[in-house]
Structure 1
Amino acid sequence: MKKHVLLFVSVLALFLNSCTSMKNTSKTSGLYDTTWELEYISGPRIAFDGLFPHKKPFIKLEKSTNRASGNTGCNGFNAQFKLEGNAISFQPGATTMMHCEGGGEQQFLKTIQQIDSYSIDQDGKLNLNMKDIAMMRFKKVADQK
């Protein structure tokens, strides 16, 4: 009888562990090759639409190259990112050099450099966090050009 209980507990533990592993894998699967549009940024006292009067910023993460690309609301940008578990960091690289209105571009680039983790909430929104506080929130959108 003890052998059956031990076998049952072992199989149950193995099953629960495999479910957890699958959950962690699926957690990052929606992160990549998706266009994420910014809908909230922490910090500025200017209304969101005032920061980004013509275009909302977006970001797309590519797993194979660990590169992020997108738009700051005015200029295109590229960045390297490092991902380990839910820890993520960005090192912005080149941006285009158009004149921007609203001041949102500087806020976007400043904030993304402070990000240290991410989460995807129950609504499927991507939160980029600094010390467990959501600094930027993105929603999935159709691919941007």
Structure 2
Amino acid sequence: MDMICKRPQAIKLIRTKIQSIVFVLILSLVTSCGTQKNMVQNDQLYNATWQLEYISGPRIAFEGLFPDKKPEFKFDKGSNEVIGNSGCNGYSAPYTLNAKSISFGEPGPSTMMYCGQGEQQFRTMMKKINAYSFDADGKLNLMMNEVSMMRFKKVAN
């Protein structure tokens, strides 16, 4: 009789343990899929040159801001720097990258040619960026508080 009374408790305990194991497995699967997606997304940044095609803010037409050359850069994974140009002068800056967040540090030394308003707008905007995403066309959006501030397209290396 004593064994019959303990049997439902044992079944309940086993059922609870199985539910816990299933929960942990599902949680692990969901977490690992998210991590892989972020890794794939981060990998899109590298091995490419990104050229600016849109910048938020100025009332001057984009072509007027960058009449000769558009800003472009590459992400250097080894040094955690972006290296390229800001439309006129050379540009390099450290960056910090996490899942969907990105930030750019102070730019390093560069050439000192006089450039129009575009270069200053670009450099100022880079300091405000705190997130990134890729759109359906594979373009890189640099964002400030979930608002796209700059958009870049991949160009041939």
TM-score exceeds 0.5 = yes
1:13 shift after superposition: 4.8
**In 2, Cα distance between equivalents of 1:86 and 1:18:** 16
Which residue matches 1:76?
90
1:118 shift after superposition: 1.0
Give the 5 Å matches for 1:1-145. 13-90=27-104, 91-100=106-115, 102-143=116-157
**In 2, Cα distance between equivalents of 1:17 and 1:59:** 32
Letter in 2 for 1:32: Y
1:86 shift after superposition: 1.6
SS at match of 2:129: coil
1:16 shift after superposition: 3.7
The unaligned stretches of length 5 or more in structure 1 are none
Letter in 2 for 1:116: N
SS at match of 1:110: helix
Which residue matches 2:10?
none
> CA, structure 1 residues 123+78, in 2 after alignment: closer, same or farther (shift >3 Å)?
same
Q: Is the 8 A contact 1:37 1:59 kept in 2?
A: yes
The unaligned stretches of length 5 or more in structure 2 are 1-14
TM-score by length of 2: 0.80
Alignment identity in percent? 51
1:131 shift after superposition: 1.1
1:17 shift after superposition: 3.5
What's the RMSD between the two structures over aligned residues?
2.1
> Which one has a larger percent helix, Structure 1 or Structure 2?
2
Number of aligned residue pairs: give it. 142
- Bigger Rg, structure 1 or 2: 2
Task: Give deviations 1:101-122, integer Å, cap 9, x for gaps.
Answer: x411011011101111111122
